[in-house]
Amino acid sequence: MSDVVEKTLTALPSLLSLDSQSGAGKLSSTSKLGGLIRSITELTSKHEEEKLINRELAAIKEQVSSPNTSMRQMKEIMVRAIYCEMLGYEASFSYIHAIKLAQQGSAIEKRVGYLAVSLFLNESHDLLLLLVNTVLKDLQSTNLIEVCMALTVVSQLFPKDMIPAILPLVEEKLTNPKEIIRRKAVLALHKFYLIAPNQVQHIHSKFRKALCDKDPGVMTASLHIYLQLIKENPDSYKDLTGSFVAILRQVVGGKLPVDFNYHNVPAPWLQIQLLRILSLLGKDDQSTSELMYEVLDESLRRAEMNHNITYAILYECVKAIYTIYPKSELLEKAAKCIGNFVVSPKINLKYLGLKALTYVVQQDASLALQHQMTIIECLDHSDSIIKRETLEVLFRITNVKNVAVIVEKMLDFLKNVFMEPDILFLLYVGCFPLLSDTYSPNNEWFIQTMNVVFSLGGELMHPDIPNNFLRLLAQGFGSEEEEQQQLRVFAVDSYLTLLESDTAHLPQRFLQVISWALGEFSYLKDGLEPCKVTKLLAKLLDERNVTSESRSWILSAMAKLSAGPGAAALALQVSERYSSSLDTVLRQQALELLHLSQDPELHARVLPHGAAWDSFEVDSSLSFLDSFVSEALSQGAAPYKAPHQRQEELRQEKALSLEPYSISLPVSLSSCSITDRQSPTLLSMSSSLSGNSNELKAGTLKLEGVKRVWGKEGYLHQQDAVEEAAQVEEAATPALPLSPQQGGAESQQTHGDLTVVEQEKQKLASSLFVGLGSQNSTFLMGKSDSTSQQFRRKTRAADSTSSGVSERSSSSSHSSCSDFLHNNLLEDSQNSLNTQKIGVSNGTHEGPVTQSFQTTSKETSPFLDAGMVLVQPCSPQTELRDFVQPGSSGITQTSLRSQFPPELSQLPHSDISLLSSDHSLSLSACRAYRDDALLFVIILSNLKCCGSIFETFSTLIQVASLRGNALENLPAHSMSVCWYALLMEEPHTQVTVAGSVSYRAVPGHTQTLQFTDKLFLTDFIRPLTLSTEEYGKLWLSFSQDVRQNLKLIQGEGDPLRATLSALKEQLQLHIVDIIGSEGIVACRLLPDSPCLLHCRIHGGSLAVWLRSPLLSLPDCLLYYCQKTLEEC
Amino acid sequence: MYGSSMRFLLLFSRQGKLRLQKWFTPLPERERKKIVRDMTTLVLARKPRTCNFLHWKDLKIVYKRYASLYFCCALEEQENELLALEILHRYVELLDKYFGNVCELDIIFNFEKAYFILDEFLMGGEVQETSKQSIANSIEASDMLQETMEEYMSKPAF
């Protein structure tokens, strides 16, 4: 059969030349589909169309179910069904027949069958499982075209958990003699890598083979995978830089067959792919970047032709040049290139030029200055997309002097064009850093701007905006207390004015903001009667278009105000009305309001004015209810069961089992996912919330989930930079010819006959580009790397004792959301710690202290990390290897070990490794494995003189508790140990922790030592001791499973036992039972997420099924299992 | 949601009638319908002589009009818009080569062929083959197969 196909293929060129128009199958307009289409076009109304299609579908339905329909007819029917679906009518009855067609049809029918399947079904559709066998069969076919079809459909849609079934076959195709098959196989693997990276990790070496394939098409396809891999972990692929550069050089030099040209440009897709890879590799890496300077230069030079595709290459090239380690010569050329784009009359190029500019101005603001007139013109461009891009550029160059103008432009844009949530977000993000007292022209301006933002934004607005705004109001941005109060009073004033006018047009979110701010801060305004505010709020409450969520905000604001004289009576009135509300939340709040307004003492206790934020204690365990509960229990009440437990029991009572009959079935039927449960942690959290106490309010300000983007940390640092910039600017302005005002003046002299319009533009330019002239300008809007955020905080020595505490204003909302507790507790403890230390350090006359911490955490691609070492827990008794730190006076492991506190030295722990050091401080770390957490132990040794040390540490892993001792003075050659208990919240194969230590060796001079370390999933895995019975129960309670074949260790004795015990040794698993050729193993991810493994010898390998409530845990664990067994 | 560089490709007429849809990432049916609606309204509302790019949620929309048909695709944030325009253009060239002076009617009446050509050109949202000749070859090969396969199938199996 393959011979037939091969012959056909080789004969093709000659056939084609005979019949050049062969493809134009215009005949089919006479077919049934043609008839259908024609009759549809003749219709006049949608209603008629509906009738016609329904008739058609009924006919199709009858035909497909008839046993006499041949596959050939079926193909024709399927095409019509696809057409009906495209028109928006459902033809779900035909799905199963599409699969049948793919299964049983001959080549051309099969192709239509596959097409219909890929158009009809979704990746999660149940019927897709029926396709697996067909794909398997076709992958093994000797017919080239059938194999191609199978590979195509596999890369279009394939159920994730069935990938292992076909993976070996697809892998095998990588060595197929036909390049088209190899190429499709590589792309299919790329798809697999995207949806299930852990499944394809073992064929990594084959990717390299594909990269070196003699066919450029296969090589190009493999670059898709490499781009992805390098994106995730650039470090592991630095060695390939040379090869990529060589390939690019050959491509640019025109060494590829002409076949790969596109409009006379050699392989543009390949070029762009390579440029992208290079920019990822060269980022922040000078030596790697140096390898590519030459070829980038050549790419810039070669891409001269005036065609879109060369512009695409140029754009990518410029992006690469600005991403890698800078080289001034190249930067100059790239800047010129961007300039050409920006001034181009072609609108698409202008757009890209502006886009590149947003990217570049963060590094070099003078470029914006060069093109200021073009930017001004673009600001009035008729195309709103261009306008929007221009505004983005402007926002990147915002500074204290032009902020008002830019924000005004932005607001204009919003009013005139259309609501775009992302523009609003941009506006908001752009505004916030500017709000510090040095930045915003004044507080009033800020409040008014935010008012406009809120009223315009409406319900489209990102919920972070109001939340952060309120947080900012509550905490201030660390400015003087007085100014902060002033800001609040402004806010209260403007809100009162707003409420007094018509409120019907105000969006709900804004109403919520208003009511919260009024509730919190209206006491600050002298002479303002709480009763007046309450009246306004009551009026608002009665308005019809106010949602019940907003009502609940209003009620809680009223509760805060109800203490004042006069307000109580009104509160009483309101609470009476709402205590019969149908909405339970409102009803409860009304009752609370009633109580609070009548009992001033209680009110003062629950809602104190201006109380410190952290003076609230939240009893998340609800221990105050203990006596109540025990009393109820003793009276025979049933003990509380969490919802998931209840559901579990219910499920067990029901006779119908949705679980697969045998666990050795290779597929988990996707019908199991009907039982799709929430993770137990989530549920238990909500259950802990269900105990409602008086202090807990549902509708009040939710600050806990909100990312702290613009906290105090962000601001002071900027203020610093601004002061600097301002100073330098003052000095530089007179001397700098590029300064905008002067530039404007000059051009006015040369062109005396400038029109008024032009003059206006120039004026606008000078107001927009003011303060840019030098590299000292600050770029606050930097789209900073999403993976790393840097916070810096500068605490002034002056208000040392109060700063950490008093800036926090009261908030009446507390929930037991654990996330909030962890995050903020961590921060708070650090803050207060820091404050105390500063208090002391004032006494010893030491200047300000800078403290910074950085968070970088990412999931690194599991199988890239060649240098990764699996840490072995070792007992404290093991012999210690001495090591001498570079440049240190011989600090040995033993001496480091001696620092261990007794409670740690009992625990198994890893070797102590040096993480980072400089001339005066060295920092080592080790991991100790406690049963309930991983302890990350940091050992600081002072190598030189004395000095004070402060340190912080943060990571995206949930930090369960913190025990760090910030040191005041660390005597010379001494050490200190602190440790952190860590848990893993989301399974990752590996996470990076980063932190920094700030210390002062010489008074007044602060140094920072950065460190990073990697933690592995295995660090967080502990054995889970279970009985076989418990295991069985637990197994049935999870429905999703992952299957993988693992290597068996062939040694003496039982291979199953040997393999399992190797896994147990290395990964801290618990072997529950081994029966015959099957074994069951359990472990848990800290704190308590179980993962169950069912192993069975199958052929020469170990088949393992894993189940866990955390979906990604099995994948991550499998990775380590594979790794362990490979190493054995 | 994982990222292939192209998320979807839509072909629709000036009247907003969908002519071809290809989704490179799994989306529920309802979502798809909403996207098609959004795309047609967004793109059809664009005035002439404006740029070919749009923002929609976190995606970049690149579209181009060829005669009465709009070709419209969605890209991830870091993708190159100009390159996407060229992808659309190459697809049109491929259709043109296959149908010979392609027009909207060809695509309406032979939409399955348009899908097959697209499958040879893009795979999983990535460009698979850029050579016009190679794509034409593999399409022809599959088309030719019809006859040879039927001859073959009429013989007894193995």
pLDDT on residue B35: 93
* Contact between chains at A308 and B82 (C-beta distance less than 8 A): yes
Inter-helix orientation angle A756-768/A403-416, to 10°: 120
Q: In chain A, pLDDT over 70 holds for what percent of residues?
A: 65
Peptide linkage before A1087 cis (omega within 30 of 0): yes
Of A343-347, A819-823, A1113-1117, the one with minimum mean pLDDT is A819-823
* Contact between chains at B50 and A385 (C-beta distance less than 8 A): yes
Closest CA relative to residue A422, chosen from A378, A389, A470: A389
Of A51-65, A253-267, A598-612, B18-32, the one with minimum mean pLDDT is A598-612
Which 3 state secondary structure label does DSSP give A178?
A: coil
| Average pLDDT score over chain A | 70
Q: State the average pLDDT over residues A191-216.
A: 85
Please check the confidence at residue A43 and state whether its pLDDT lies above 50.
yes
> Is residue B115 very low, low, confident or very high in pLDDT (cuts 50, 70, 90)?
very high
| C-alpha distance from B33 to closest chain A C-alpha (Å) | 8
Candidate from A108, A272, A347 with C-beta closest to B51: A347
pLDDT on residue A401: 66
Q: Which residue out of A17, A20, A26, A141 would a mutagenesis test of the B interface target, given it has the greatest number of B Cβ atoms within 10 Å? A: A26
Identify the top-confidence range among A304-308, A922-926, B109-113. B109-113
Amino acid identity, residue A861? S
* Contact between chains at A23 and B143 (C-beta distance less than 8 A): yes
Identify the top-confidence range among A361-365, A437-441, A689-693, A709-713. A361-365
* Contact between chains at A8 and B148 (C-beta distance less than 8 A): yes
d(CA B146, CA A508): 63
Burial of A245 (0-12, 13-18, 19+ CB in 10 A): buried
pLDDT on residue A844: 33
**Among positive and negative, which fits the CA dihedral A248, A249, A251, A255?**
negative
| Residues on chain A touching B85 (C-beta within 8 angstroms) | 308, 312, 348
Rg (CA), chain B: 17
Cα dist from A298 to A219, A318, A326, whole Å: 22, 12, 16
Candidate from B108, B136, B138 with C-beta closest to A180: B138
| Residues on chain B touching A262 (C-beta within 8 angstroms) | 86, 90, 130
Q: State the average pLDDT over residues B60-69.
A: 92
Q: State the average pLDDT over residues B54-63.
A: 88
| C-alpha distance from A25 to closest chain B C-alpha (Å) | 7
Of A803-817, A1031-1045, B88-102, the one with minimum mean pLDDT is A803-817
d(CA A756, CA A1041): 73
* Contact between chains at A13 and B111 (C-beta distance less than 8 A): no
Rg (CA), chain A: 34
Cα dist from A226 to A466, B25, B78, whole Å: 41, 20, 16
Q: State the average pLDDT over residues A205-232.
A: 89
Kindly state whether B82 is in contact with chain A, defined as any CB-CB distance less than 8 angstroms. yes
Q: With contact defined as beta carbons under 8 Å apart, do A395 and A375 qualify?
A: no
Burial of A250 (0-12, 13-18, 19+ CB in 10 A): middle
* Contact between chains at B144 and A15 (C-beta distance less than 8 A): yes
d(CA A1023, CA A1064): 8
Candidate from A21, A115, A123 with C-beta closest to B26: A123
Q: State the average pLDDT over residues A1098-1103.
A: 80
d(CA A780, CA A395): 9
Please check the confidence at residue A830 and state whether its pLDDT lies above 50.
no
pLDDT on residue A802: 34
Tens of pLDDT along A534-589? 888 888 888 878 888 888 888 888 888 877 667 777 777 888 888 887 788 888 88
* Contact between chains at A348 and B53 (C-beta distance less than 8 A): yes
What single DSSP character describes residue A667?
Answer: S
Inter-helix orientation angle B132-154/B81-99, to 10°: 50
Relative to beta strand A1021-1023, strand A1078-1085 is antiparallel
Q: With contact defined as beta carbons under 8 Å apart, do A1091 and A1082 qualify?
A: yes
| Residues on chain B touching A190 (C-beta within 8 angstroms) | 124, 126
> Is residue A729 very low, low, confident or very high in pLDDT (cuts 50, 70, 90)?
very low
Interface predicted TM-score (ipTM) over 0.95: no
Relative to beta strand A788-795, strand A849-856 is antiparallel
Q: Where are the beta strands (DSSP E) in A906-947?
A: 913-917, 921-929, 934-942
Please check the confidence at residue A709 and state whether its pLDDT lies above 70.
no
Q: Which residue out of B59, B76, B96, B119 would a mutagenesis test of the A interface target, given it has the greatest number of A Cβ atoms within 10 Å? A: B119
Of A156-160, A426-430, A637-641, the one with minimum mean pLDDT is A426-430
| C-alpha distance from A168 to closest chain B C-alpha (Å) | 20
| Average pLDDT score over chain B | 84
* Contact between chains at B55 and A388 (C-beta distance less than 8 A): yes
d(CA A812, CA A592): 13
The partner residues of A967 in beta bridges, in order of sequence, read A949
| Residues on chain A touching B105 (C-beta within 8 angstroms) | 29
C-alpha dihedral over A58, A60, A65, A70, to 10 degrees?
Answer: 160
d(CA A107, CA A503): 68
Residue in A with minimal Cα distance to B157:
A1
A1096 or A740, which is more confident: A1096
Residue A435 CB neighbours (<10 A):
23
Q: With contact defined as beta carbons under 8 Å apart, do A1104 and A1097 qualify?
A: no
Q: State the average pLDDT over residues B43-52.
A: 88
Q: Which residue out of A85, A106, A228 would a mutagenesis test of the B interface target, given it has the greatest number of B Cβ atoms within 10 Å? A: A106
**Among positive and negative, which fits the CA dihedral A771, A773, A779, A783?**
positive
Relative to beta strand A1101-1107, strand A1089-1098 is antiparallel
Cα dist from A1123 to A1098, A1117, B93, whole Å: 20, 10, 48
Residue A294 CB neighbours (<10 A):
12
Please check the confidence at residue B88 and state whether its pLDDT lies above 90.
yes
Please check the confidence at residue A308 and state whether its pLDDT lies above 80.
yes
| C-alpha distance from A21 to closest chain B C-alpha (Å) | 7
Cα dist from A34 to A31, A296, A1005, whole Å: 5, 53, 82
Closest CA relative to residue A815, chosen from A695, A910, A718, A714: A695
d(CA A80, CA A774): 65
Candidate from A112, A122, A272 with C-beta closest to B80: A272
pLDDT on residue A150: 92
Residue B7 in tokens: 């998320």
* Contact between chains at A24 and B52 (C-beta distance less than 8 A): no
Strands across the sheet with A934-942, in order? A913-917, A921-929, A934-942, A975-982, A959-963
Please check the confidence at residue A6 and state whether its pLDDT lies above 80.
no
Buried b (16+ CB within 10 A) or exposed e, A1042-1064: bbbbbbbbeeeeebbebbbbbbe
Kindly state whether B68 is in contact with chain A, defined as any CB-CB distance less than 8 angstroms. no
Buried b (16+ CB within 10 A) or exposed e, B25-45: bbbeeeebeebbeebbeebee
Please check the confidence at residue A965 and state whether its pLDDT lies above 70.
no
Please check the confidence at residue A670 and state whether its pLDDT lies above 50.
no
Closest CA relative to residue A854, chosen from A715, A970, A1020, A1008: A1008
> Is residue A241 very low, low, confident or very high in pLDDT (cuts 50, 70, 90)?
very high
A147 or A728, which is more confident: A147
Q: State the average pLDDT over residues A681-707.
A: 39
A293 or A700, which is more confident: A293
Please check the confidence at residue A148 and state whether its pLDDT lies above 50.
yes
Residue in A with minimal Cα distance to B63:
A348
Please check the confidence at residue B118 and state whether its pLDDT lies above 90.
yes
Q: State the average pLDDT over residues A320-341.
A: 89
Residue A47 in tokens: 């209603």
What single DSSP character describes residue A436?
Answer: S
| Residues on chain A touching B98 (C-beta within 8 angstroms) | 23-24
Model confidence, pTM: 0.58
Q: Which residue out of B11, B129, B132, B137 would a mutagenesis test of the A interface target, given it has the greatest number of A Cβ atoms within 10 Å? A: B129
Q: With contact defined as beta carbons under 8 Å apart, do B107 and B69 qualify?
A: yes
d(CA A342, CA A374): 7
* Contact between chains at A24 and B99 (C-beta distance less than 8 A): yes
d(CA A595, CA A590): 9
Residue in A with minimal Cα distance to B80:
A312
Q: With contact defined as beta carbons under 8 Å apart, do B21 and B35 qualify?
A: no
* Contact between chains at B55 and A385 (C-beta distance less than 8 A): yes
Residue A821 CB neighbours (<10 A):
15
Q: In chain B, pLDDT over 70 holds for what percent of residues?
A: 88
Residue in B with minimal Cα distance to A146:
B142
pLDDT on residue A881: 34
B44 or A403, which is more confident: B44
Would you tell me which residues 102-141 of chain B have a C-beta closer than 8 angstroms to some C-beta of chain A?
Answer: 105-106, 108-113, 115-116, 119, 123-124, 126-131, 133-134, 136-141
Kindly state whether B48 is in contact with chain A, defined as any CB-CB distance less than 8 angstroms. no
Which 3 state secondary structure label does DSSP give B72?
A: strand
Please check the confidence at residue A1103 and state whether its pLDDT lies above 50.
yes
Burial of A42 (0-12, 13-18, 19+ CB in 10 A): exposed
Candidate from A28, A145, A191 with C-beta closest to B110: A28
B14 or A995, which is more confident: B14
Cα dist from A461 to A454, A458, B24, whole Å: 8, 6, 29
* Contact between chains at B105 and A29 (C-beta distance less than 8 A): yes
| Residues on chain A touching B140 (C-beta within 8 angstroms) | 12, 15-16, 22-23
Q: State the average pLDDT over residues A806-830.
A: 36
* Contact between chains at A269 and B127 (C-beta distance less than 8 A): yes
| Residues on chain B touching A26 (C-beta within 8 angstroms) | 106, 109-110
> Is residue A688 very low, low, confident or very high in pLDDT (cuts 50, 70, 90)?
very low
Which 3 state secondary structure label does DSSP give A316?
A: helix
| Residues on chain A touching B127 (C-beta within 8 angstroms) | 269
* Contact between chains at B27 and A155 (C-beta distance less than 8 A): no
| C-alpha distance from A187 to closest chain B C-alpha (Å) | 7
Cα dist from A678 to A601, A646, A654, whole Å: 43, 13, 20
| C-alpha distance from B36 to closest chain A C-alpha (Å) | 11
Q: State the average pLDDT over residues A917-922.
A: 76
Tens of pLDDT along A840-891? 333 333 333 333 333 333 333 333 333 333 333 333 333 333 333 333 334 4
Q: What are the residues whose beta carbons fall under 8 Å from the beta carbon of A892, sequence distance 6 or more?
A: A880, A882, A883, A884
Which 3 state secondary structure label does DSSP give A1016?
A: strand
Kindly state whether B47 is in contact with chain A, defined as any CB-CB distance less than 8 angstroms. yes
Candidate from B26, B29, B80 with C-beta closest to A312: B80
Please check the confidence at residue A777 and state whether its pLDDT lies above 60.
no
Q: What are the residues whose beta carbons fall under 8 Å from the beta carbon of A338, sequence distance 6 or more?
A: A318, A353, A356, A357, A360, A367
Residue A1085 in tokens: 């991810």
What single DSSP character describes residue A865?
Answer: -
